[in-house]
Structure 1
């Protein structure tokens, strides 16, 4: 009988477990501390969808909404105040983890407004505003990996801001994200900023890749196509880790690491299984590698704790097989570039919808309070 839990085994294998959820109720109830103590959680990520759900269902925000209404705050100001307060409070809860890991973990991410996804200057401005408002060294600002987001990533890193790059789907875009990070580090170094204080993760989305590609494989309908179902997301992520190893082992990155910089860690996002026919821990157990983050919805976290089987590194041993999966997808007619471009567009659009829901919820609450 093992004396450890699957989440402890996952941590021991080098995977940092971050929760993909945050609400004021979870903060106030002691739920975050409990997950740190009992589920090996060492960080939190948020996004517009998470905040929209929290605000829509959360009586915990009523007092602050009333105060903001009385002060005459508009909806944008109210959302900014409410979300940064949650992230600041969560950052304080995770501060012992941050201190114990020398900044490696204990991170809490907050995203720039998704309607800025194609606005470089607007993203830079809001990233700086969020960083200053949260005012915690263990915060991270989420910036989407759109073409316009790349320059914003560089500018934020160059200003000493820790960044969670989100909505990465393709290997080519991931390569550009790494370049943006390294360029930012070079700018920070030139500005005399301590590179050791800057941390970053690159959030590579997993299950959404399978959802879209499996739909296309089903439409193709051949035996060869159907045999590839539910393999693309994992293969894509495994090849992303290979790219991570290559780029951070190259001369350019090595020089920055020797100057005190940190590697930009790969983060597996969208790890909740969408297809009920698949094992509910699939995107956890098949993506175990040293130095990665897996950000999980609570359902996936609990499934992993309950029955996840952690068998060591399942990534670096699979590069050849992963490459063969992408080659086979192309051979049956799946256009990888079209899939990843579509997923990026949809990812931005879905977050904009959630952001508008969040604004509507807060707007209604402010009006009711007044």
Structure 2
């Protein structure tokens, strides 16, 4: 039994942090499900930018859709939904067998909407309707405007993957928004069974402070933050307020560990996967990390529900001059800016490839 299977049997879902048309057409994603116990996947603008830029697999569809007069965001979302609905069908049996808890794929709204709650909600509803897919999450960032959009989207019946969460406070704001949306559905006599996950970004913490703290604290901040968040997550699931929602039929908003590939070349690639083994959570894993963990990973135990030594470690970082709240805000802002840049790159590569394919098609009489 390999390490990924053991982690799955422990009660943690393993999702792939990648999607490409080649992964689907080659049967590789199917093999990951069979060999590595992968039960879902996530995507973001950077992933799609790299997939379309570095492959010819999208060229025929790009050419055809461009000839139909489609461009920009419309063209991209059609391409993305073709990939994601195919992947969602692959995960369909898991989704059904787990009662809608597992077997999900994710699509992000345009990062350009990060500070516009109303436009984010409209985009989330539009993509959810366009997909016709029961196991597709719409990703909304956990920014201030995003928190408002999360509540409204959940109330509208849109499953939401809350992305770009870094601190415990940011997680709690997203979890509260989810619960408010569910409570409003209950009050309105609507089905409260709307799924959501909250995605905590881990390794970017350690990259941010890598050269600013003593060696003894190197690569310990992301895991300490995760321990603090996991404690809050378990306390929420045990709370009276949550039990009332669950008794009414609500699904728990699951916790997902994101950004779990290592940024420090001195670390083993499976470092964060091993440290974040926790029941009733999800780990979304880059392909390279998935292979490394399967081949070399070791389960060293599970995360403690009381957070373990996370508060002590965070105190050590505070004493070393790290302002956790300020850094969390900075990391969220930088994450949003990074996705915005990737979005611009993605739109540019779609336009460029469409034009090249059009010229080639015209030259060859296609």
- 1:185–1:195: 8 Å Cα contact kept in structure 2? yes
| Consecutive aligned runs of 4 or more in structure 1 exceeding 3 Å deviation | none
> Where in structure 2 are the equivalents of 1:273-292 lying within 5 Å?
273-292=262-281
- 1:287–1:315: 8 Å Cα contact kept in structure 2? no
Cα drift, residue 262 of structure 1: 1.0
- 1:142–1:165: 8 Å Cα contact kept in structure 2? yes
Which residue, 281, 292, 312 being the options, matches 1:324? Answer: 312
Partner of 1:92: 89
Partner of 2:13: 16
SS of 1:216's equivalent in the other structure is coil
- 2:234–2:305: 8 Å Cα contact kept in structure 1? no
> Where in structure 2 are the equivalents of 1:1-370 lying within 5 Å?
4-196=1-193, 198-217=194-213, 225-316=214-305, 319-370=307-358
Q: TM-score, normalised by structure 2?
A: 0.95
* CA deviation profile, 1:293-334 (whole Å, cap 9, x unmatched): 0000001111110011113313336x2411101111111211
Instruction: Give the whole-Å Cα distance in 2 for the aligned partners of 1:146 and 1:228.
Output: 28
* Unpaired stretches in structure 2, ≥5 consecutive residues: 359-366
Partner of 1:221: none
Instruction: Give the whole-Å Cα distance in 2 for the aligned partners of 1:6 and 1:119.
Output: 42
Cα drift, residue 337 of structure 1: 1.4
SS of 1:334's equivalent in the other structure is coil
Instruction: Give the whole-Å Cα distance in 1 for the aligned partners of 2:345 and 2:241.
Output: 43
Equivalent pairs, count = 358
* Unpaired stretches in structure 1, ≥5 consecutive residues: 218-224
* CA deviation profile, 1:69-110 (whole Å, cap 9, x unmatched): 111112221112111111111111111111122211110000
SS of 1:271's equivalent in the other structure is coil
Instruction: Give the whole-Å Cα distance in 2 for the aligned partners of 1:301 and 1:316.
Output: 25
Cα drift, residue 254 of structure 1: 1.1
- 1:45–1:110: 8 Å Cα contact kept in structure 2? yes
- 1:112–1:126: 8 Å Cα contact kept in structure 2? yes
Instruction: Give the whole-Å Cα distance in 2 for the aligned partners of 1:316 and 1:339.
Output: 25
